Amino acid sequence: MTERVKVAVVFGGPSSEHDVSILTGLQVLEALDPAKYEVFPVYVGLDGQWWTGDALRNRKNYIPDAALKRELVRVSLNIGASREGGRWLLREVGGGLLKRGKTFAFDVVIPALHGTWGEDGTLQGVLASEGIPCVGGNVGAMGLTINKMWTTGAAASAGLPVPATMYVARGQDVAAKLDAWKGTYPVFVKPNYLGSSIGARVAKDRADAEQAVAEVFRLDTAALVQRCIGNLVEYNVAVRRNRKGQLETSAIERPLRVGESLDFKDKYLSGGGLDKLGNKLGAAREGMASATRVLNPPELDAARDGQIRNWAKALFEAVDMAGAPRLDFLCDEATGEIWFNEINPLPGSFAYFLWEGAQEPVGFSELLDDIILEARSRMRSHARVVDPVANGGAIFRKRGV
């Protein structure tokens, strides 16, 4: 019998998207096939502490209080230590010379962490330093795509149309920056580093834009002022690389919104956990999976449908992405023009609902199988296979040589 792969599902995290991350983590835990995987949850609190224990599988236990934490084990990554049976370890915090703490071995990490710390390359860098396979993009890809201004530049370089955008950092003269804005009003103002639905809004005029930037600075260190697309319709599509190494796209979705742009409520709270027939759904349909949307919208003709898919594939390759990111586009419904908006490298619910609606449907469990396999394969292919100080780079000789 083949030994099961040991998977650590990490979720929560010290970011404004902490609660949404919990929902995604619980969905992943539920979707992983127990015949193939030995899975354990790792919850990262708002204070950055890591915890594990079966109680974390129950939605009712969030956010853990002091009483519940007595049922959990606080752990940390065993950095720089020997592996156990070829596996990496999380070790109980608090063990000492007289007490050997518990250890939790794993083969791969699924980061169900949205926003900073989980989507910005921080966690990926720590894991990469130990050679630990991690689902999704590598340090460079995650560090680039968390920065919306950098992503806009990468998209333009890859040939995607992007709306006029201005970067404003905290500490800069906001009034002077807005004086230099060459576009018209209204504009769209959003955080540069946070999730796509937090702290973002339309500003009607210059004074309102200055206020919107000030609001962003309470959440983030930089803001983007962007051309506001009229008659706005949004289209999103996910991309992945299949087991043959070919790029595939999911169903295209048109999210339904109440206001001028999608906000946190539209994305995560609008669906009320109901399916298309109005039936109550479980944890798997919470979070991003509960949002109201139209899949494969009929108004998209073949040319525009293909254009969105081709642009998404091109940018996926341009930034060396992996996993199953979602790429978001903006459309002027009156003119049919389309612009790239942003990448979600670890989308809510892993956007599994888009893959279920693809031309060749992919279930959530199958999607997880594929991106776990990809993560382990990529780490093996990136392992150092030559002497790190070869080719004249050596200064010191090994003792005794």
* Residue 288 confidence (pLDDT): 56
Rounded CA-CA distance 312/23 in Å is: 26
Give the three-class secondary structure for 386. Answer: coil
Ramachandran category for residue 64: left, alpha or beta (phi over 0 → left; psi -120 to 50 → alpha): beta
The CA distance from 38 to 3, in Å, is 9
SS3 of residue 212 by DSSP: helix
Buried b (16+ CB within 10 A) or exposed e, 206-218: eebbbebbebbbe
Q: Which CATH architecture has domain 5-134?
A: 3-Layer(aba) Sandwich (3.40)
> How much is the pLDDT for 284?
55
The Cα–Cα gap between 212 and 118 comes to 26
Are β-strands 222-227 and 253-255 bridged in parallel, bridged antiparallel, or unpaired? Answer: unpaired
**From first to last of its 401 residues, what are the pLDDT tens digits of the chain?**
689 999 999 999 999 899 999 999 999 999 999 999 999 999 999 999 999 999 999 999 999 999 999 999 999 998 887 677 789 999 999 865 566 789 999 999 999 999 888 999 999 999 999 999 999 999 999 999 999 999 999 999 999 999 999 999 999 999 999 999 999 999 999 999 987 678 999 999 999 999 999 999 999 999 999 999 999 999 999 999 999 999 999 999 999 876 555 554 555 455 444 333 233 334 555 655 556 889 999 999 999 999 999 999 999 999 999 999 999 999 999 999 999 999 999 999 999 999 999 999 999 999 999 999 999 999 888 766 556 666 667 777 777 65
Q: How far apart are CA 349 and CA 286, in angstroms?
A: 8
DSSP string, 271-309: STTB-TT--B--GGGSGGGGS-EEES-TTS-HHHHHHHH
Please calculate the CA angle 290-295-296 and round it to the nearest 5 degrees: 170
Residue 301 CA to residue 21 CA, distance in Å, equals 35
| pLDDT given for residue 273 in this prediction | 40
Per-residue CA distances from 272 to 253, 276, 286, 354 (Å): 18, 11, 8, 18
Rg (CA), the chain: 22
CA distance 130 to 280: 43
Segment holding 119, helix H or strand E: none
Structure tokens at 44: 């990262």
- Torsion angle in degrees (nearest 10) through CA of 33, 295, 114, 15: -130
Domain 165-227 fold is Dna Ligase; domain 1 (3.30.1490)
Q: In Å, how far are 90, 103, 258, 377 from 383, measured between CA atoms? A: 22, 25, 48, 10
For domain 145-162+230-375, give its CATH number from 3.40.50.11740, 1.10.10.10, 3.30.470.20, 2.60.40.420.
3.30.470.20
DSSP E strand stretches across 149-287: 165-169, 187-191, 201-203, 222-227, 232-241, 247-249, 253-255
Domain ranges of the chain: 5-134, 145-162+230-375, 165-227
**Interatomic CA distance for residues 328 and 314, integer angstroms:** 14
Angle CA(18)–CA(21)–CA(23) in degrees, nearest 5?
120
pLDDT of residue 277: 28
The strand pair at 247-249 and 222-227 is best described as unpaired
